[in-house]
Amino acid sequence: MRHLLSTRDLSRDQAVAILDVAEDMADVATREVKKLPALRGKTVVNLFFEDSTRTRISFEAAAKRLSADVINFSAKGSSVSKGESLKDTAQTLAAMGADAVVVRHPSSGAPSVLAQSGWIDAGIVNAGDGTHEHPTQALLDAFTIRRRLHRSAARGRDLSGTTVTIVGDILHSRVARSNVWLLTTLGATVRLVAPPTLLPVGISRWPVQIGYDLDEAVSAGSDVVMMLRIQAERMHAAFFPNAREYSRRWGLDDARLARLGASTIVMHPGPMNRGLEISSGAADSTQSTVREQVSNGVSVRMAVLYLLLSGEREELS
């Protein structure tokens, strides 16, 4: 693996292999010494053009647990605010000897521009680009589902036979896109539930079932219900009348949680708007994997960085 830009590029076997390595990395977190020497002497740059706490901290923790050096770069307070281009920033990082660059950018496609530009030779990891993809989030979601379903027998397995319902703002969600591709590749059935205004054009070509009514979806049952954040910062038009109406029709409240049954896994990529798309009762229930998702995020990102950076660099194909 040279770059991780999209979950659409991953084959089933590649995806399962990443999840299996993540299992080994998760074991490290239970030990006395939570550190591995595998990436000693490598430099990982976190290049964040957009605000983030958990993704950046998660990548930082992952790189440090593998003994890599970490440089954090955020656009605020850097030369980017003076108008420096992506090209010049990339060349600066290349000159500093970065082995991997973890990029978050408000524009879809920015990481793949970096990967194909020739400005920098480092491995590129997409940590969220615009409304395109967020592959490590989808990998950690798949990892969390697989661990909950199969426990210690999870290694080597995919998610065939599992139904995952993703609810909310599909239109702006890179998490939803990455999950649709990855979960489908892993054999799961994906169902999307959203107000029609929050579904993208061309969705009929996605390998998913589409619904508009959360109550119907709850009655139909699902192994996993994944609630998406209402992204206020991207809501530049009137997609729904108001927050209360959204919450009543598409929010996971206590009543819907009770109807889902105790075996359904409730997920949220965070940060949560409690009381809007998910009630506090649902977020803190035993079915909720919100905190597991955060700790699994470190293991999955360790696996990705390890697979990207250890070994001889693959030649450009």
Partner 1 sequence: MPARTVLQQADISRALTRMAHEILESNRGTDGLILLGIPTRGVVLARRIAHLITQFSGESVPTGALDVTLYRDDLRRNPTRVPSPTQVPSGGIDGKTVVLVDDVLYSGRTIRAALDALGDIGRPRVVRLAVLVDRGHRELPIRPDFVGKNLPSSQEERINVRLTDIDGEEFISIGGTS
List of residues contacting partner 1 (CB under 8 A) = 1, 17, 20-21, 23-24, 27, 31-33, 35-38, 155, 306-307, 310-312
Nearest distance, CB of residue 36 and partner 1, angstroms: 5
Nearest distance, CB of residue 16 and partner 1, angstroms: 11
Neighbours of 174 (CB within 10 A): 22
Give the total residue count for the chain: 317
Print burial letters for 10-25: b (CB count within 10 Å at least 16), e (below 16).
beeeebbbbbbbbbeb
Nearest distance, CB of residue 100 and partner 1, angstroms: 13
Q: Among residues 21 and 94, whose Cβ is nearest to partner 1?
A: 21
Q: Among residues 233 and 312, whose Cβ is nearest to partner 1?
A: 312
Distances (CA, A) of 53 to 48, 70, 112, 139, 146: 10, 15, 23, 18, 25
DSSP conformation class of 316? P
The answer to whether residues 296 and 22 touch, using CB atoms and an 8 Å cutoff, is yes
Nearest distance, CB of residue 312 and partner 1, angstroms: 6
Q: Among residues 24 and 215, whose Cβ is nearest to partner 1?
A: 24
Q: Among residues 21 and 57, whose Cβ is nearest to partner 1?
A: 21
C-alpha 67/C-alpha 29 separation (Å) is 14
C-alpha 81/C-alpha 91 separation (Å) is 17
Q: Among residues 37 and 202, whose Cβ is nearest to partner 1?
A: 37
Nearest distance, CB of residue 13 and partner 1, angstroms: 11
